[in-house]
Amino acid sequence: MQKRIAIIGGGIVGATAAFYLSQLPGAQQVKVTLFDDGVGQATSAAAGIISPWLSKRRNQRWYRLAKAGAALYPELMHDAQLGTEVYQQTGTIVTREAAVDLEVLADLAQERRRTAPTMGTVSVLSAKDVQAQIPLLTNPQPGVLISGGARVDGPALVQGLLDRASAVNLSVKRERVTLTTDGDVVTSMGPQRFDRVIVAVGAWLKEVLAPVGITADVRPQKGQLIELAVKDYPLQEQMPVLMPEGERDFIPFGHGKLIVGATHEDGGKFDLSRDPAVKADLLASAQRLVSGLSADSITGMRVGTRAYTPDFAPFFGPVPEHEKLLVASGLGSSGLTTGPEIGRLLAGSALYGGEPDWSEYEKPLTTYLSSSAE
């Protein structure tokens, strides 16, 4: 008997779950339908940096999850047959102006490398060395290079994963859906019953789960970034991602494309308008690193909404007392790093059932989900 699985939300979690549901053993007995209206998706406005190892977060569960997510990427790209235009291990440079701060950062990198071999090599670079790695820069700072760091084009990754899954057992419906009190999916064609429903709608989780009688403790945060046209260096595709001290993140892509951002705007919530003041701020940050840039260099601007929990930790898994529902939210600004691993785990749970123990990665879901009647 064919199993029917719905995914609500087509960002990094939903797209990865859909891909693995087309690849895992038993996929031939599954029909998957993904619903997404394309509005406000955090993945579409993510900077695309995969380099969690130097984070100063003290949350060890998050760090283990982020390490697992970063380690999964090469395998995922191979399995999905996606190329370097989507994901590439270019390395990541984190800069510090003061020599003592640079030394502390280098020591932290060497310590983290002992338990994270996917970090690759760790190198301390002078400002001149950094400029040699990223010729675009005219005002470089010294930094630490992590060779295993990478950049990813979030929208291209999501589309690639959905395309691969659609060739097997996935149907994509570009519409906004809701849930009934029983967890059925209300579509434009009326309510539809599925065996399992993965709800991966980020900051919209509270709204989507409300009819089921569940309150989700998540809040929205607005993020914006800009794309700029810069000089196309022959080896720009291999330039490291730059996380400069005191400035916005700096992600060189190939063919003269540079991304700067993204912002973290708690007051923006679900506002998806492009803010001229933020646009100017992002440009000013880029100009402090690269001379000669102007407003005419900007070729695009992206806006999205992230989801955060009170303790800044993601959560995911089967919903207590609602066995056919699985959720994921609270990924914050590390969604492209943690999202693929979360999507992979949810796909396995949706397909095979059981009561998975993911306590090494997260607190109990009851930390973030509660009955509306309570």
List pLDDT tens digits, range 232-279: 887 667 899 999 999 999 999 878 999 999 999 999 889 999 999 999
Percent of the chain with pLDDT over 70: 99
Residues facing residue 4 across a β-bridge: 31
- Residue 236 counted as domain residue: yes
Q: What is the pLDDT of residue 259?
A: 96
User: In terms of domains, do 8 and 139 share one?
Assistant: no
Q: What is the pLDDT of residue 372?
A: 78
- For residue 152 the two structure tokens come to 């990813």
- Residue 344 confidence (pLDDT) above 70: yes
Average pLDDT for residues 213-242, to the nearest whole number? 92
- Residue 44 confidence (pLDDT) above 90: no
Peptide bond into 106 cis (omega under 30): no
Token pair 């955060």 is found at 308
Percent of the chain with pLDDT over 90: 90
- For residue 257 the two structure tokens come to 């494309």
- Residue 59 counted as domain residue: no
Length of the chain: 374
User: In terms of domains, do 177 and 299 share one?
Assistant: no
User: In terms of domains, do 224 and 301 share one?
Assistant: yes
The mean pLDDT of the chain is 95
- Residue 257 counted as domain residue: yes
User: In terms of domains, do 253 and 318 share one?
Assistant: no
Average pLDDT for residues 50-78, to the nearest whole number? 95
Last residue of a domain, one of 257, 286, 308: 308
User: In terms of domains, do 231 and 363 share one?
Assistant: no
Count of domains observed in the chain: 2
Average pLDDT for residues 198-226, to the nearest whole number? 97
Average pLDDT for residues 219-232, to the nearest whole number? 95
Average pLDDT for residues 340-368, to the nearest whole number? 96
Average pLDDT for residues 68-85, to the nearest whole number? 96
User: In terms of domains, do 245 and 140 share one?
Assistant: yes
- Residue 320 counted as domain residue: yes
User: In terms of domains, do 239 and 123 share one?
Assistant: yes
User: In terms of domains, do 246 and 284 share one?
Assistant: yes
Peptide bond into 262 cis (omega under 30): yes
User: In terms of domains, do 224 and 296 share one?
Assistant: yes
Q: What is the pLDDT of residues 142-169, one digit of tens each?
A: 999 999 999 999 999 999 999 999 999 9
User: In terms of domains, do 233 and 361 share one?
Assistant: no
Q: Rounded to whole angstroms, how far apart are CA atoms 24 and 361? A: 22
- Residue 49 counted as domain residue: no
Average pLDDT for residues 349-353, to the nearest whole number? 95
User: In terms of domains, do 232 and 115 share one?
Assistant: yes
- Which range of residues forms the domain containing residue 270? 87-150+220-308
User: In terms of domains, do 202 and 235 share one?
Assistant: no
Last residue of a domain, one of 258, 284, 308: 308
Last residue of a domain, one of 308, 336, 360: 308
Per-residue burial over 175-208, b if 16 or more Cβ lie within 10 Å, else e, is: ebbebeeebbbebeeeebebbbbbbbbbbbbbeb
- Residue 226 counted as domain residue: yes
pTM above 0.75, yes or no: yes
- Residue 374 confidence (pLDDT) above 70: no
- Residue 69 counted as domain residue: no
